[in-house]
Structure 1
């Protein structure tokens, strides 16, 4: 009876300690969230500095994201980017410094990847039904493809810094920043937080993340890499980081099927066709979310062999998850293997 009593007391004490620990962690965490860029955002802050009102902080973050949407959305007819796309002039068109910054980053990665990332791919995205208001589930004709490909090519854009402006070589060039704008938004929030004296945070917009400091347990933040299976929300791998940014691009969620064949929303701008290789997703860890976002897209388009080769050559920390008949196979660059992580892969057959 005495042993049972001590055992029961021990269990109760353990439960109390666990509950207190969880409560203490929750008390240290401020969690803000909302909708933006056709997805959701989340901001987690450990030990919010005294004097900062979380409601005011939340409003300021929402306002910042509204401003970015007002600059870069192709879904808002009155955004700066939409107005630029409607402008058929081929002389210099004045734009914001923010647009120039994002375009310059994108153009650099376009040159690095030899066109695997291309912000002028918008006409093809729309033709395939993956753009704003262009939903379809039919494969376009080759004639339509060739006509739209004439409007695609990152070299048809020129950038000027002072005063900020962009010039099109063709008046009908259409720019789509969806492969880089979320990452830019994450970076802007991170910069805003640090300007407020906040240095322990995790910012997420649609899966693109930036991290600083530690989580509520006092340890580095843990970032989940999703297993690339449509219709599921399962974790493939966990990363542990105290700084940097993480972005993942995949071809397993947004697609349509015709005659038993799947067509992904990820297009190769060089061919105009959806990618067909077996690379399911690419995760990139970088200093900024903007660059990680764009690099992940470029590497996904390049595929498991060319993408890995470029990532190794440029010392990019990248994880490639490849679909095989036996299940998923991971290939990581040397830079990625230096990051602490846990493999949660379970073998499956398809």
Structure 2
């Protein structure tokens, strides 16, 4: 059996000129990075209020949330839920809010995005050394355990009730929530300009110090080295991409990527190679990137066009690019192996 495993840590490249690390005067930048959330986390701060001590606080915020919601940490709240030893649990604010947002997108997508997908994620093991194609019966058993409707939240008590053998995976939405919390901290410290990169989940605070917009490279989904296919020019926005390039393995000449279909139990197969969501909040970009990818090109395009303050860049497996109305004004193609197309009326 011929198997190759791939894991892309940084999924969006950042294009920014004049960036040297740890300069701490006026409108110059300081930056730091570490490994959290299973990826490289890099934060860049600008302005006289930015201080090296901010990074300690920021990384503590990220680590604290990770320790609550990672199913790979045995002491986390999610691990306690997934043990199936409890039917009711009082949650921390962060865990409650992430689950609540996850349930919102589970419901909005009619289950195509489902935070109870953990049994299926564990079974495939994509992104780990244990990645494999499961047996059909194993897949059926895992699919039968997936149903976000088995979770009920009590807002007034911050309690969660579960039934059946629910297992939760917040990997499709937690990074976006964390990015928003980091931005919230940065603004509280009166830092007016910042760039947050949580392994490809990009969130900006303000514009660049000189008043110009940020230029963010959009991932080429056929390249696992972070090569961009174009550049998005944005103000204070989030950019999140989901695609076939992020985590996958190959077995007997076939690629199996990590975006799983909760109904079939297999990686989603449609006409898309990647979807980039541009939104005000990263938690929405995180959830929507998976939701929209699961819909395919035409349905996903129409879906995004009906959302307020959300735009998207669709990349098909034929290297065609489709832009929603808002992205037509801000996206510039740089890799001419791709073609920008429009839907015919």
- Matched with 1:345 is 335
8 Å Cα contact 2:126/2:257 also seen in 1: no
Unaligned residue ranges in structure 2 (runs of 5+)? 1-17, 340-345
Match of 1:59 among 45, 56, 60: 56
- Matched with 1:270 is 263
Equivalent position SS for 2:266: coil
Equivalent position SS for 1:193: helix
8 Å Cα contact 1:213/1:221 also seen in 2: no
8 Å Cα contact 2:193/2:209 also seen in 1: no
Match of 2:320 among 315, 319, 329: 329
1:224-271 CA-partner distances (Å, limit 9, x unpaired)? 111112433311121122212111111123212223221111101122
Q: Does 1:296 align with 2:294?
A: no
Equivalent position SS for 1:119: coil
Match of 2:279 among 280, 286, 299: 286
Q: Does 1:159 align with 2:149?
A: no
1:191-221 CA-partner distances (Å, limit 9, x unpaired)? 0000001121111101111112222544122
CA distance in 1 between partners of 2:225 and 2:67 (Å): 32
Q: 1 or 2 for the larger relative contact order (CA 8 Å, sep ≥6)?
A: 2
Equivalent position SS for 1:248: strand
CA distance in 1 between partners of 2:268 and 2:197 (Å): 26
- Matched with 1:18 is none
Q: Which has the higher helix share?
A: 1
8 Å Cα contact 2:274/2:314 also seen in 1: yes
CA distance in 1 between partners of 2:217 and 2:161 (Å): 40
Equivalent position SS for 2:64: helix
1:335 Cα deviation after fit = 3.2
CA distance in 2 between partners of 1:209 and 1:177 (Å): 18
1:329 Cα deviation after fit = 0.8
8 Å Cα contact 1:230/1:253 also seen in 2: no
- Decide which moves more: 281-290 or 161-170: 161-170
8 Å Cα contact 2:217/2:228 also seen in 1: yes
- Matched with 1:143 is 137
Unaligned residue ranges in structure 1 (runs of 5+)? 1-20
- Matched with 1:34 is 34
Equivalent position SS for 2:62: helix
Q: Does 1:86 align with 2:83?
A: yes
- Matched with 1:219 is 212
CA distance in 2 between partners of 1:311 and 1:164 (Å): 31
- Matched with 1:10 is none
8 Å Cα contact 2:176/2:285 also seen in 1: yes
1:70-102 CA-partner distances (Å, limit 9, x unpaired)? 111111111121112114333x31111211211
Output the TM-score relative to the length of structure 1: 0.85
CA distance in 2 between partners of 1:314 and 1:181 (Å): 21
Aligned residues: 317
- Matched with 1:305 is 298
Runs of 4+ deviating beyond 4 Å: none
Output the TM-score relative to the length of structure 2: 0.86
- Matched with 2:314 is 320
1:122 Cα deviation after fit = 0.7
